[in-house]
């Protein structure tokens, strides 16, 4: 078990809609609350993965207000005051700012690790090693740390981080100056990034002191700061929900990347020593789940005859899906809904869901 850091506060962002995993993921139960890769949900896996680093009272989950009961059900160990329900979707800058306000109020100028709730990471001990390295850096200086993932192919669905001058290793973990954030590139640009060897994938994992990130938010997102900082006075009081709703509505929708990280000059990056998968679509499960001899990735009761390179997922263990001479397809059955789509078109599920609103799916 990793040593608990008494100055660390861990923030888990669990407010996404998970539209790329329809029909299993829905607006009422998005992917972070689903057990896609085992018996535990992605949120539970994230919590158990970081639990050795901090006690429950120093772990804060931010989610959509409607999902608070789901978080309470899945993370029973967490105090209710540590589950923050966002009344509106405002991208990532607002929950990051809110978490920093709460962390500073409760724990002073602590170090914060901000992590998404729906990624697959292994092994746990290497995640702990990387986070501890970033924590030691953030505790000693006034820099904002992000964790860079070594790219394994020219992905166009991820943002990138351009590393600069190499700095002294942090407990054996590589550390660099961070030159800039790059948005999701076209294929040619992604291939060039890989060729140079100067770029990491941006996994949206951050480490910083609460006071430092709030200074940068006050500088670059002054409305976020002016509206959310006063909420410290309402923390864990009967006025919390009404005050949060009133102030959150006035905060613009923007990501922490756009709002702060692309503007600040207080940037560092540490190189992840673990394997990472953002589980961004059905096709990504092929990298996590085992495949049969014909490269079929199967969950549930499936008969695949003369079929290969498919992703087949059945929610009901008693419901049979049978395939004959089918290749390179994603087939998902959940409830009374079925998805059939070519594997190379997996990202298009998000666009499909946008057109399904009339069916209330």
Q: What DSSP string runs through 59-120?
A: EEEEEEGGGHHHHHHH-TTS-GGGEEEESS--TTHHHHHHHHHHHHHHHSS-EEEEEESS-E
Q: Answer yes or no: is pLDDT of 306 > 60.
A: yes
Asked if residues 18 and 32 have their Cβ atoms less than 8 Å apart, the reply is: yes
> What DSSP element (H or E) covers 267?
strand 267-271
pLDDT at 360: 54
End-to-end CA distance of the chain: 42
pLDDT tier for residue 289 given thresholds of 50, 70 and 90: confident
Taking Cα atoms as reference points, which of 198, 197, 196, 204 lies closest to residue 157?
204
DSSP 218: H
Asked if residues 117 and 169 have their Cβ atoms less than 8 Å apart, the reply is: no
pLDDT at 27: 86
Return the axis-axis angle of helices 42-50 and 124-140, rounded to nearest 10°. Answer: 60
Whole-number percent of the chain with pLDDT over 90: 84
Across-strand partners of 298?
A: 312
Q: What ranges make up the beta strands (E) of 183-241? A: 199-209
pTM of the model: 0.94
Three-class secondary structure of residue 147 per DSSP: strand
pLDDT at 353: 87
Least reliable range by pLDDT among 117-126, 161-170, 240-249, 347-356 = 347-356
Asked if residues 176 and 165 have their Cβ atoms less than 8 Å apart, the reply is: yes
pLDDT tier for residue 39 given thresholds of 50, 70 and 90: confident
Q: Answer yes or no: is pLDDT of 269 > 80.
A: yes
pLDDT at 274: 97
pLDDT at 361: 52
Instruction: Note the residue count of the chain.
Output: 361
- Domains of the chain in start order, with CATH, are 8-277 (3.90.550.10), 282-359 (no CATH)
pLDDT at 265: 94
Mean pLDDT of 292-306: 94
Cis peptide bond N-terminal to 323, omega within 30: no
pLDDT tier for residue 3 given thresholds of 50, 70 and 90: low
Q: How far is Cα 69 from Cα 112, in angstroms, rounded to an integer? A: 25
pLDDT tier for residue 222 given thresholds of 50, 70 and 90: very high
More confident residue, 283 or 104: 104
Asked if residues 41 and 113 have their Cβ atoms less than 8 Å apart, the reply is: no
* CA angle, 188 then 192 then 196, to 5°: 175
pLDDT at 357: 67
Q: What is the largest CA-CA distance in the chain?
A: 64
Token duo for residue 87: 């009344």
Token duo for residue 117: 């709730």
């Amino acid at each position: 078990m990793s040593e608990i850091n008494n100055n660390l506060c861990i923030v888990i962002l669990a407010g996404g809609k998970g539209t790329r995993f329809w029909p299993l993921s829905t607006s009422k139960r998005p992917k972070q609350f689903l057990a896609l890769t085992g018996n535990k949900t992605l949120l539970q896996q994230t919590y158990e993965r970081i639990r050795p680093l901090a006690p429950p009272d120093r772990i804060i989950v931010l989610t959509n207000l409607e999902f608070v009961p789901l978080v309470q059900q899945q993370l029973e160990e967490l105090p209710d005051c540590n589950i923050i329900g966002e009344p509106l979707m405002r991208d990532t800058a607002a929950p990051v700012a809110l978490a920093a306000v709460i962390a500073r109020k409760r724990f002073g100028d602590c170090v914060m690790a901000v992590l998404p709730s729906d990624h697959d990471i292994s092994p746990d001990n290497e995640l702990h090693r990387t986070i501890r390295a970033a924590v030691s850096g953030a505790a000693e200086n006034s820099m904002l740390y992000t964790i860079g993932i070594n790219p394994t192919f020219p992905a166009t669905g991820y943002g990138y981080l351009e590393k600069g001058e190499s700095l002294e290793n942090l407990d054996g973990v590589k550390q660099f100056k961070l030159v800039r954030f790059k948005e999701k590139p076209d294929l040619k640009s992604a291939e060039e990034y890989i060729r140079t060897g100067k770029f990491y994938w941006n996994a949206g994992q951050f480490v910083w002191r609460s006071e430092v990130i709030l200074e940068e938010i006050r500088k670059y997102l002054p409305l976020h700061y002016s509206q959310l900082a006063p909420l410290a006075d309402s923390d864990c009081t009967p006025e919390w929900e009404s005050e949060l709703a009133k102030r959150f509505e006035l905060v613009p929708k923007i990501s922490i990347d756009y709002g702060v990280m692309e503007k600040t000059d207080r940037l560092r990056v540490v190189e992840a020593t673990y394997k990472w998968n953002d589980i961004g679509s059905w096709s990504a499960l092929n990298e996590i789940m085992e495949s049969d001899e014909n490269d079929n990735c199967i969950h549930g009761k499936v008969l695949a005859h003369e079929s290969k390179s498919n992703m087949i997922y059945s929610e009901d263990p008693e419901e049979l899906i049978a395939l004959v001479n089918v290749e390179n397809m994603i087939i998902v059955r959940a409830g009374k809904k079925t998805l059939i789509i070519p594997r190379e078109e997996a990202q298009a599920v998000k666009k499909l869901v946008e057109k399904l609103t009339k069916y209330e799916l």
